Amino acid sequence: MANPEAEEIFDIAEFVRGIEKDRAERASRPRSFELAGETFTHKPSVPMEVMANYFDMTTARIEVDNQEAIKIIDATILGFLEAGQEEKWHKVRTDPVNPITYTDAHSLIEGLLRSLSGRPTGESSDSTDGQKNGTTSLTASSPSEEPTSNS
Protein backbone atom coordinates (compact mmCIF):
# COMPACT_ATOMS: atom_id res chain seq x y z
CA MET A 1 0.00 0.00 0.00
CA ALA A 2 1.28 3.47 -0.88
CA ASN A 3 2.44 5.81 1.82
CA PRO A 4 -0.38 8.41 2.20
CA GLU A 5 2.12 11.02 3.38
CA ALA A 6 4.10 10.68 0.15
CA GLU A 7 1.08 11.48 -2.03
CA GLU A 8 0.25 15.08 -2.86
CA ILE A 9 -3.10 16.17 -1.50
CA PHE A 10 -5.47 17.66 -4.06
CA ASP A 11 -6.14 21.33 -3.32
CA ILE A 12 -9.56 22.28 -4.70
CA ALA A 13 -9.03 25.97 -3.88
CA GLU A 14 -5.87 26.07 -5.99
CA PHE A 15 -7.59 24.17 -8.78
CA VAL A 16 -10.52 26.63 -8.84
CA ARG A 17 -8.11 29.58 -8.86
CA GLY A 18 -6.78 28.13 -12.11
CA ILE A 19 -10.31 28.02 -13.53
CA GLU A 20 -10.89 31.64 -12.51
CA LYS A 21 -7.59 32.65 -14.10
CA ASP A 22 -8.65 30.94 -17.35
CA ARG A 23 -12.04 32.71 -17.23
CA ALA A 24 -10.39 36.12 -16.75
CA GLU A 25 -7.92 35.46 -19.57
CA ARG A 26 -10.74 34.38 -21.88
CA ALA A 27 -12.64 37.61 -21.19
CA SER A 28 -9.56 39.69 -22.08
CA ARG A 29 -8.88 38.07 -25.49
CA PRO A 30 -10.06 39.65 -28.78
CA ARG A 31 -13.54 38.39 -29.61
CA SER A 32 -14.37 40.00 -32.96
CA PHE A 33 -14.20 38.40 -36.38
CA GLU A 34 -15.26 39.33 -39.88
CA LEU A 35 -17.43 37.04 -41.96
CA ALA A 36 -18.69 38.01 -45.43
CA GLY A 37 -18.03 41.69 -44.80
CA GLU A 38 -19.83 41.79 -41.43
CA THR A 39 -18.08 42.11 -38.08
CA PHE A 40 -19.32 39.85 -35.32
CA THR A 41 -18.36 39.65 -31.66
CA HIS A 42 -18.67 36.46 -29.64
CA LYS A 43 -19.24 36.19 -25.93
CA PRO A 44 -16.24 35.52 -23.69
CA SER A 45 -18.02 32.39 -22.43
CA VAL A 46 -21.31 30.63 -23.02
CA PRO A 47 -23.45 28.35 -20.87
CA MET A 48 -23.21 24.63 -21.53
CA GLU A 49 -26.75 24.64 -22.93
CA VAL A 50 -25.55 26.55 -26.02
CA MET A 51 -23.78 23.42 -27.28
CA ALA A 52 -26.12 20.69 -25.95
CA ASN A 53 -28.33 20.14 -29.01
CA TYR A 54 -25.42 20.63 -31.40
CA PHE A 55 -23.34 17.98 -29.62
CA ASP A 56 -26.30 15.61 -29.54
CA MET A 57 -26.91 16.16 -33.26
CA THR A 58 -23.28 15.81 -34.35
CA THR A 59 -22.69 12.69 -32.26
CA ALA A 60 -25.91 11.06 -33.52
CA ARG A 61 -27.43 11.00 -30.04
CA ILE A 62 -30.49 12.58 -31.62
CA GLU A 63 -31.74 12.22 -35.15
CA VAL A 64 -32.93 15.40 -36.88
CA ASP A 65 -34.04 16.31 -40.38
CA ASN A 66 -32.22 19.00 -42.36
CA GLN A 67 -34.55 21.82 -41.33
CA GLU A 68 -34.14 20.98 -37.64
CA ALA A 69 -30.36 20.74 -38.14
CA ILE A 70 -30.34 24.26 -39.59
CA LYS A 71 -32.29 25.54 -36.58
CA ILE A 72 -29.85 23.86 -34.18
CA ILE A 73 -26.81 25.25 -36.04
CA ASP A 74 -28.32 28.75 -36.10
CA ALA A 75 -29.20 28.60 -32.40
CA THR A 76 -25.69 27.38 -31.56
CA ILE A 77 -23.95 30.15 -33.49
CA LEU A 78 -26.33 32.81 -32.15
CA GLY A 79 -25.72 31.46 -28.65
CA PHE A 80 -22.02 32.29 -29.07
CA LEU A 81 -22.63 35.79 -30.43
CA GLU A 82 -23.20 38.89 -28.33
CA ALA A 83 -26.84 40.03 -28.36
CA GLY A 84 -28.12 42.10 -31.26
CA GLN A 85 -26.30 40.28 -34.09
CA GLU A 86 -29.15 38.03 -35.22
CA GLU A 87 -30.05 40.15 -38.25
CA LYS A 88 -26.43 40.33 -39.45
CA TRP A 89 -26.04 36.56 -39.02
CA HIS A 90 -29.24 35.85 -40.95
CA LYS A 91 -28.16 38.22 -43.75
CA VAL A 92 -24.76 36.54 -44.11
CA ARG A 93 -26.12 33.00 -43.72
CA THR A 94 -28.77 33.43 -46.40
CA ASP A 95 -26.82 35.58 -48.87
CA PRO A 96 -28.23 34.67 -52.31
CA VAL A 97 -24.80 34.79 -53.99
CA ASN A 98 -22.51 33.25 -51.37
CA PRO A 99 -24.49 31.78 -48.46
CA ILE A 100 -22.98 30.10 -45.44
CA THR A 101 -22.79 26.36 -46.14
CA TYR A 102 -23.07 23.53 -43.63
CA THR A 103 -19.29 23.19 -43.83
CA ASP A 104 -18.82 26.91 -43.15
CA ALA A 105 -21.22 26.82 -40.19
CA HIS A 106 -19.61 23.74 -38.64
CA SER A 107 -16.16 25.32 -39.08
CA LEU A 108 -17.38 28.54 -37.46
CA ILE A 109 -18.74 26.63 -34.47
CA GLU A 110 -15.43 24.78 -34.15
CA GLY A 111 -13.55 28.08 -34.31
CA LEU A 112 -15.80 29.66 -31.69
CA LEU A 113 -15.25 26.69 -29.38
CA ARG A 114 -11.50 26.92 -29.86
CA SER A 115 -11.58 30.63 -29.18
CA LEU A 116 -13.38 30.05 -25.88
CA SER A 117 -11.05 27.25 -24.85
CA GLY A 118 -7.91 29.13 -25.81
CA ARG A 119 -6.63 26.17 -27.79
CA PRO A 120 -4.59 26.97 -30.89
CA THR A 121 -6.62 26.73 -34.06
CA GLY A 122 -3.79 25.61 -36.35
CA GLU A 123 -3.73 26.47 -40.01
CA SER A 124 -6.98 26.23 -41.89
CA SER A 125 -6.82 25.30 -45.55
CA ASP A 126 -8.92 28.11 -46.99
CA SER A 127 -11.43 29.34 -44.43
CA THR A 128 -9.33 32.02 -42.76
CA ASP A 129 -6.76 34.56 -43.75
CA GLY A 130 -5.39 34.84 -40.24
CA GLN A 131 -5.72 37.51 -37.61
CA LYS A 132 -5.51 41.21 -38.24
CA ASN A 133 -5.84 43.64 -35.33
CA GLY A 134 -7.74 41.09 -33.24
CA THR A 135 -10.20 40.34 -36.04
CA THR A 136 -10.30 37.09 -37.99
CA SER A 137 -11.75 37.13 -41.48
CA LEU A 138 -13.52 34.03 -42.72
CA THR A 139 -14.42 33.51 -46.36
CA ALA A 140 -16.11 30.70 -48.23
CA SER A 141 -14.20 29.46 -51.27
CA SER A 142 -16.00 26.25 -52.07
CA PRO A 143 -19.36 25.64 -53.69
CA SER A 144 -22.31 25.07 -51.43
CA GLU A 145 -22.34 21.71 -49.71
CA GLU A 146 -25.80 22.11 -48.21
CA PRO A 147 -27.81 18.91 -47.91
CA THR A 148 -31.02 18.66 -49.83
CA SER A 149 -34.07 19.85 -47.93
CA ASN A 150 -36.63 17.25 -46.90
CA SER A 151 -39.44 19.75 -47.48
Q: What is the pLDDT of residue 143?
A: 33
pLDDT (tens digit, 9 = 90+) per residue, 31-75?
999 999 999 999 999 999 999 999 999 998 989 999 999 999 999
Q: What is the pLDDT of residue 13?
A: 95
pLDDT (tens digit, 9 = 90+) per residue, 81-120?
999 999 999 999 999 999 999 999 999 999 999 998 876 5
| Domain residue ranges in the chain | 46-145
Answer for the pair 78, 69: CB distance below 8 angstroms, yes or no.
Answer: no
Q: Which of 29, 26, 33 is nearest to 127 (CA)?
A: 33
Distance from C-alpha of 122 to C-alpha of 6, rounded to nearest angstrom: 40
